[in-house]
Amino acid sequence: MAPIRVLVSGAYGRMGREVVKAVSAQPDMELVGAVDKAGVGKDACRTAGVEKTGVMISPDLSETISKTNPQVMVDFTTPLAVMENIRLAAEAGVAGVIGTTGLTKENLEEIARLAAKAGRAFLVAPNFAIGAILMMRFAAEAARFFPEVEIIELHHDKKIDAPSGTALKTVEAINSGRAGQQPPAKPSPLEKVKGARGGELSGVHIHSVRLPGLVAHQEVIFGGMGQTLTIRHDSLDRSSFMPGVLLAIRKVVKEKGFFNGLEAFLS
């Protein structure tokens, strides 16, 4: 079979470089295009620290799609750019693996419409680490037994959205595990410093930490009578996301429609 033709949008960024490196190492994939506003004219593989391929970084996604005819676009850009990138890909009949976070409910609804119209598959995932998916699955199970829970998510200082998409997805999993049961009512906190108790979503407090040196980390802390349970996942290197990204690429070329979360592709 011919290799899957992959274009990486955001190829000069930290995640984009990891995707370039991972895709170029797969015998069943071919890196055919690389797009970014930075690093224009540079060899995408050379910037990722692997042998050069002659795939140069271009600033124009539409032009690159037209010239390279990719089957899948992998996008790790910014919330400000990603929707236009998805529209261009869908219009060209290119499937999408979207790792850019900060998308709204309205954005997701639009992506679902674009996928249906294009007859292609689009996956949007806040986290591609298999361990993070398991963390959310375990949190949903624990929510059945523990009435109280808080989330602490920690990311690098260049991450611009807060809370993280993973934290928001974890709240969804917790609510699913509660099966409609409402969390116990809490008194309003007397905050001596505004925001000290973090943000609140569906009765779950979320605390966002942004510091240099971090990659992507999350603790889900449950509390019950006389005990606590902590479920934690740490991505120590961006390579931790690559098995999930590669899995998604292989899946979207075979599917149609919109998929929200990598767990849709995990049996």
Question: Would you please indicate which residues are annotated as catalytic (active-site) residues?
Answer: 155, 159
Name the β-bridge partners of 209.
154
Whose structure tokens read 């055919």?
Answer: 32
Which letter does DSSP use for residue 161 in this model?
A: S
What type of residue is 57? Answer: I
What is each CA distance from 94 to 97, 132, 139, 211, in whole angstroms? Answer: 10, 27, 34, 36
Which H or E element spans position 7?
A: strand 4-9
Nearest to 238 by CA among 125, 133, 98, 129: 129
Sequence-distant (≥ 6) Cβ neighbours of residue 258 within 8 angstroms:
108, 111, 112, 115, 116, 121, 122, 124
Host H or E run for residue 67? helix 61-68
What lies within 8 Å, CB to CB, of 177 at 6+ separation is 139, 140, 141, 142, 143, 144
Q: Collapsing DSSP states into helix, strand and coil, what is residue 151?
A: strand
Q: Do residues 13 and 76 touch, judged by C-beta distance below 8 A?
A: yes
User: SS3 for 265?
Assistant: helix
